Structure 1
């Protein structure tokens, strides 16, 4: 049985750590089916868009995601617009995906359910 991603903690990631293997990405992605794996150039990233009734709710969500990102010292790209927020996770130090990105995506989903 896979570990529950929301119960895991990000580990400090340096540029010397390898990115997740394709098999690891596939296994972790199964736990986050609403997240898309996109590519910005050659860099794979996790991305999801959340819908809200207005800008105030979108901004509150952005701030909540920012707070969990800061507490884990792992930061996403956040695009806040009227009624929606696009969240993109990847590990800058390795220009790719790491287990940390999947952990943080799961924690982002948790924030959205609050």
Structure 2
């Protein structure tokens, strides 16, 4: 089953972060995303381009609806013609499989 077809699971503070091997394997499934470290926390980041602010805002709202449906919430920065999305799991201060599922679902929007 592809990442975009999976559902997020409830994540607790003792949930395991993805291992380096899992990170490498999962990144192959979302090749347009980049692992970044922000404030010592590994996150997934991708920017999307749009022709104008209205289209960027519409996409932002779709990502917000996805986040609510999954119970997992990213950082979203909306600018004229650009939306940057960062997924990570706050409860564990790092990456969980949920972040990869949501990244794949974001791409499917």
Pairs within 5 Å for 1:18-97: 18-97=16-95
Q: Distance in 2 between matches of 1:35 and 1:49?
A: 8
Task: Select 1:98's aligned residue among 96, 99, 102.
Answer: 96
TM-score for both structures, normalised by structure 1: 0.94
Instruction: Give the number of aligned pairs.
Output: 109
Q: Tell me the C-alpha RMSD between the 2 structures.
A: 0.6
Q: Secondary structure of 1:58's match?
A: helix
Residue in 2 that maps onto 1:9: 7
**Stretches of structure 1 lacking an aligned partner (at least 5 in a row):** none
Deviation string, structure 1 residues 21-59 (Cα, Å, up to 9, x no partner) = 111111001111110100002211000000000000000
Deviation string, structure 1 residues 68-101 (Cα, Å, up to 9, x no partner) = 1000100000000000000000000000000000
Runs of 4+ residues over 3 Å off in structure 1: none
Q: Secondary structure of 1:70's match?
A: helix
Q: Distance in 1 between matches of 2:39 and 2:50?
A: 29
Q: Secondary structure of 1:45's match?
A: strand
Deviation at 1:18, TM superposition (A): 1.0
